[in-house]
Amino acid sequence: MTGSLLSGGPLSKELTALRKQYHYSESIIARLSFYYGVFRTIKMIEALRKPVKKLAIRVNTLRISPDRLIDELNEAGIQALPSKIYRDVIFVKIEGPFEVKKVNKKIIVKDKSAEGVMLGANLYAPGLLEIDQDVKIGDEVNIVTRFGEVIAYAISKVSATEKVIKGIVAEVKESIYRMPNLKTLRSFVIGNAYPASLVATEALKWFSPKPDERILCISPNAEDLAYILQLVRGEAEITVISKTDLEEIRIKEAIRKMRLEDFEKKIRWHTVDYKYVRFDPEAFDAIFVSPRNSKIGLRPRITGFIKEEDIIILSRETRRLLDKLVPALRKGGRLLYAVPSLDPAEGEFIVKYLMNNWEMKPKTGDYRWGSPGIKDIPGGDKTLRTYPDIHDDIGYFAALLVK
């Protein structure tokens, strides 16, 4: 689809210019422009490179009430607001953008670390890319992206002459956005609350897991698994499939941090490469799958250089995985497919594949947040999307299908 655009076609120069301006690959820009139009794509990328204005926080209602959590945050000097949509969601404001103090010395950071630093997080050694040769401990520095964008003013905690730099590199004093340091607050340390997008909460509400069901979760993030446990109050028969041992360990550690270890012990945990996944026919009443994807939708995401062939490979892998999952779903059972992506190859076209190849039927959602997907693709009007240029949320796709 984008080959002619990227190989000397009439728009190749424009795509290259946009890539240099926004630091997103020509592939991403061309693909999104094909489906949404180039001007809409620019607006979406501009939104993706910024954080949301209000950070959604899920309340672990198994441990605390939303009202009590709001009181605790307010007592800590953080303004917390209740959601008008869901009682178990509250919001914390992210302020900015601000101008930061400019100085002569700089520290260059990796893209992923830049996304935290621009919100006020301190810089640690793993995120360090380059440091000016004359930087000493206590110096004023600007933290910049590898493209020269100043994202923070900080005090250096290291010297450029150090042979091995460990621990904290720079203490941020000013950043272009400001978000409360939630990780240090008691409610977050003991698992009473955790950040999670509003649209993911919407999708899991739509999924509506029941305490008496057999539920399969494929590579869920810990926040979504915790919410499923919360919705079923730990009573469902849950099986979790992780692709690697490290993935499983991270999920378990996060679940324990949320003080859900009693429920964690009831889960059936398995680590297996998806190529070798096998299930008994109709073994599950409901399946939640969030497979490996491009993550073109997370925010803030200041760069995105994934190639078109990578998106195609990810889409193909997803279809192969679904070919193994659908037979494991009982007749009348439901499958929630959800990914933080704006590309229809990872969204509406997956639904079309399930409709054509497995005769699954997408279920229309009564959305309290978000919009339908691309209506021109069969089944798209029955899916859920959030668009970063429209919704104060990540770019997200979800579909609920019935076998």
What confidence score (pLDDT) does residue 229 get? 95
Tokens coding 208: 């509506």
**Average of per-residue pLDDT across 90-101:** 96
Q: Is the pLDDT of residue 109 over 60?
A: yes
Which residue has 């990796």 as its token pair? 110
Task: Kindly report, residue by residue over 33-86, the tens digit of the pLDDT.
Answer: 999 999 999 999 999 999 999 999 999 998 999 999 999 999 999 999 999 999
- CATH number of the domain at 81, please: 3.30.70.1170
Q: Is the pLDDT of residue 4 over 60?
A: no
Same domain, 258 and 388: yes
What confidence score (pLDDT) does residue 198 get? 96
**Average of per-residue pLDDT across 350-357:** 98
What confidence score (pLDDT) does residue 354 get? 98
One-letter-per-residue 3-state SS of 47-93: HHCCCCCEEEEEECCCCCCHHHHHHHHHHCCCCEEECCCCCCEEEEE
Same domain, 110 and 212: no
Which of 2-6, 156-160, 195-199 is predicted with the least confidence, judged by mean pLDDT? 2-6
Same domain, 360 and 377: yes
Strand order of the sheet with strand 123-124? Answer: 123-124, 168-175, 150-156, 140-144, 106-109, 128-131
**Average of per-residue pLDDT across 248-256:** 92
Q: Is the pLDDT of residue 27 over 50?
A: yes
- C-beta atoms surrounding 21 within 10 Å: 12
Pair 161, 78: CB distance under 8 Å: no
Residue 371 three-state SS: strand
Report the mean per-residue pLDDT for the chain: 94
Question: Which residue, 141, 160, 189, sits at the end of a domain?
Answer: 189
Same domain, 306 and 234: yes
> What residue type is 217 in one-letter code?
C
Domain count, the chain: 4
Exposure of 206 in the CB half-sphere (CA atoms within 13 A)? 30
Same domain, 11 and 79: no
Question: Which residue, 125, 140, 175, sits at the end of a domain?
Answer: 175
How far is the CA of 33 from the CAs of 55, 167, 288, 399, in angstroms?
28, 42, 30, 23
Same domain, 241 and 321: yes
- 184-216: b (≥16 Cβ within 10 Å) or e: ebebbeebbbbebbbbbbbbbbbbebeeebbbb
**Average of per-residue pLDDT across 228-238:** 94
Residue 259's pLDDT band (cuts 50, 70, 90): confident
What confidence score (pLDDT) does residue 183 get? 85
Which of 136-150, 242-256, 318-332 is predicted with the least confidence, judged by mean pLDDT? 242-256
Residue 9's pLDDT band (cuts 50, 70, 90): low
- CATH number of the domain at 362, please: 3.40.50.150
Same domain, 78 and 216: no
Same domain, 125 and 231: no
Whether 359 is covered by a domain: the verdict is: yes
Same domain, 256 and 297: yes
Same domain, 214 and 299: yes
Same domain, 326 and 398: yes
What confidence score (pLDDT) does residue 171 get? 97
Residue numbers of the domain that contains 263: 196-402
Q: Is the pLDDT of residue 3 over 70?
A: no
Whether 100 is covered by a domain: the verdict is: no
Which residue has 């910024």 as its token pair? 50
Same domain, 245 and 325: yes
Q: Is the pLDDT of residue 2 over 50?
A: no
What confidence score (pLDDT) does residue 10 get? 62
What confidence score (pLDDT) does residue 163 get? 87
Provide the whole-model pTM. Answer: 0.93
